[in-house]
Amino acid sequence: MRLILVFSLAISLVAAPCGAAGPGAMVSLSQTSGKVFYLRAGSTVWAEVGAGHVLSPGDRVRADAGARATVDFGDGSRVEVGSNASFTLQESPAKETIVQLSIGRLRAWIAKRVDQKFSVRTPTAVCSVRGTEFAVEVNPQGNTRVEMFQGLLAVGDNAGNELLLKDGQQLDVTTKGLGSLEGQGAGPSGAELRREAAKREVGLEMTKEEVQAAAALEQKNAIYQQGKAIIDVNGHRVRIEEYIVRSKPDEFKLVVLNSRADRFDYFYYRGTFNKALPDDISTALRQMPGCIDSPCDYFLTSFDTGRSNTMDTMRETAGGGHLVDVNNNGVAQDRVTEAFDSATDRFVILNIPNPGGAGNQPFYQTLYNTNLLTFNGVQHGGWTPSAAAVAAPWAPPGLPLGTYTKNSTTHITEFAGATATTLRQGAVCGPPNCTYKEAGVVHEVFYSESVDGKTWDKYDNYIISDDGKIAQWSDFAGITGGAEYKQTMLKWNFQTIVTASEFGGRKIDLAVEPRIFIQSGLIQ
């Protein structure tokens, strides 16, 4: 039971500056002309060098008047340093490359790599890049000129302000901060400015490059961040990148990026709570599944979640979230018989002497007044209130809640006479177009369709090892304690493949690793 609940949570939620040399890649001078010198980290003596010289973190390079040097980062990325320029290859965390340009001009061609970060820093600016060709110049006063040739480039000043440069744009950054955009597309309209602002955070209807650039900005404020490469259930290598940010005082956002050789898929989940989150947001996230005996201190009032392969989109939104004691609301289908107890670090059986009635052990969960699920903009499910509500004894003050209605698969609303649109779930049967569990292994399929069968969606859910092996239910047998369970889950990953009638045979294929869920409290 615990595995099913945790699996469902992870799947329902799903589930940096950019491209630079991978771990262990060699950074070297591939070309030089004129006199080029380097200063080894910790040394005070400059030495002249030529092509083939290998650089280490902390090394400094300068080109004399009329000289040039090309730095190769070992993954297809390179930086060309011009006359009278000086830069330092900074010490930086794993999977990140930082070049500090002190004076002069450089031009960079950065390979598109989801799992790596690359930034150029100057006395007045930070340029965070992914899949980008650009140039940066620093004058003797320390002011910075940035020119964008192709791709997307996030440029920030020392005050924390940032702008996103596109093809053909230029920007000056001084000690006073960011200047005005120049060149192609400069001076955008108010609508364009709003669209550009939206592209500074990961959302739907974005290109791969826009997602990567937005993720680079968001990751700077990540509270939790994880990533690794695995083999998926179809035998393809996938690089997983995950992070959680506090996007607003009362809001958190989880983002998962998947990069394969021939595709890019991503996911986000933004949840808004009833009040400002604590410094340790795991305190609030642990309460998302619900609370035993007394109402949760923190609960969601709305959420917005989306998945995409950059061509197709799946989006679900919900609003009017409020707490309900689902074990005593008169709806037998709502009751929760087993829940996690943080006091004992175990899942416990709740006391339910009167299923569907009152007098049961309370369990509080968030229910929503409105919901909308779409695939490529076509509605597949959701509900909205459409009639006057009748007050219920368990209703929070001020909310027009009434009779709770439910179809065969989904909470509709607590408004009497709600208007609901929900595809009917396929019967429990065998494959391919129905809901079933594959025998022996952790592979569950959920299939729903309209009455005429023309509108449908399907979810293939797996738990897999790093090498793509599908877990067996026996792999989780005999585990009772929370700590033991979390240690076991760290050996596995979740993968969900979504197909739908609107996708034209395509799929959204997302793999996630559970470590970030465990760290943040989303998995207990």
Of 189, 102, 119, 195, which is closest to residue 154 (Cα–Cα)?
119
Kindly report the CATH number assigned to the domain that includes residue 39: 2.60.120.1440
Q: Is 267 exposed, middle or buried (0-12, 13-18, 19+ CB in 10 A)?
A: buried
Residues 268 and 393 in one domain: yes
pLDDT tens readout for residues 277-295? 998 888 888 888 888 999 9
Residue 451 lies in a domain: yes
Q: Are 325 and 362 in contact (CB under 8 A)?
A: yes
Residue 22 lies in a domain: no
Residue 411 lies in a domain: yes
Measured CA to CA, the distance from residue 22 to residue 117 in angstroms comes to 9
CB atoms within 10 A of CB 400: 15
pLDDT tens readout for residues 349-401? 889 888 767 888 898 988 888 888 889 888 888 776 644 333 333 333 333 33
Mean predicted confidence (pLDDT) in 415-430: 58
Domain that holds residue 61: 27-190
Residue 367 lies in a domain: yes
List, in sequence order, every residue forming a beta bridge with 349; answer none if it has no partner: 338
Residues 237 and 175 in one domain: no
Task: Determine the pLDDT at residue 10.
Answer: 55
Strand order, beta sheet including 313-319: 222-231, 237-248, 251-260, 263-273, 300-308, 313-319, 370-375, 378-384, 419-422
Residues 94 and 228 in one domain: no
Please determine, for residue 265, whether its predicted confidence score (pLDDT) is greater than 90.
Answer: yes
DSSP characters over 427-492: PB-SSSSSBEE-SSBSEEEEEEE-TTSSSEEEEEEEEE-TTSPBPBGGGGTT--SHHHHHHHHTT-
Which pair of structure tokens corresponds to residue 64? 């004399």
Residues 34 and 137 in one domain: yes
Residue 196 lies in a domain: no
CB atoms within 10 A of CB 242: 25
Residue 320 lies in a domain: yes
Residues 131 and 232 in one domain: no
Residues 179 and 231 in one domain: no
Q: Are 348 and 339 in contact (CB under 8 A)?
A: yes
pLDDT tens readout for residues 173-214? 988 888 888 876 555 444 444 445 445 688 887 888 888 888
Measured CA to CA, the distance from residue 236 to residue 239 in angstroms comes to 10
Measured CA to CA, the distance from residue 376 to residue 62 in angstroms comes to 52
Residues 236 and 383 in one domain: yes
The dihedral over CA atoms of 125, 251, 384, 456, expressed in degrees to the nearest 10, equals 70
Residues 297 and 425 in one domain: yes
Q: Which secondary-structure segment (H or E) carries 283? A: helix 282-285
* Residue whose tokens read 């589930």: 15
Mean predicted confidence (pLDDT) in 500-504: 91
Phi, psi of 237, rounded to the nearest 5 degrees: -75, 130
- pLDDT, the chain, mean: 79
Which pair of structure tokens corresponds to residue 162? 């940032």
Residues 38 and 6 in one domain: no
User: Running DSSP on this structure, what letter comes out for residue 276?
Assistant: P
Residues 39 and 9 in one domain: no
Which pair of structure tokens corresponds to residue 370? 């409105």
Task: Determine the pLDDT at residue 424.
Answer: 67
User: Helix 2-13 and helix 482-489: axis angle, to 10°?
Assistant: 50
pLDDT tens readout for residues 48-91? 988 888 888 889 999 988 888 999 888 778 889 888 889 998 87
CB atoms within 10 A of CB 499: 19
Q: At 159, which amino acid appears?
A: A
Of 166, 143, 163, 144, which is closest to residue 154 (Cα–Cα)?
163
Number of domains observed in the structure of the chain: 2
Cα three-residue angle 270-243-315, rounded to 5 degrees: 35
User: What number of CA atoms fall less than 13 Å from residue 141's CA on the CB side?
Assistant: 8
Residue 334 lies in a domain: yes
User: With b meaning 16 or more CB within 10 Å and e meaning fewer, what string describes 223-233?
Assistant: bbebbeebbbb
Measured CA to CA, the distance from residue 149 to residue 135 in angstroms comes to 8
Measured CA to CA, the distance from residue 355 to residue 394 in angstroms comes to 17
Residues 185 and 313 in one domain: no
Residue 209 lies in a domain: no
Residues 371 and 513 in one domain: yes
Q: Is the pTM of this model over 0.75?
A: no
CB atoms within 10 A of CB 293: 12
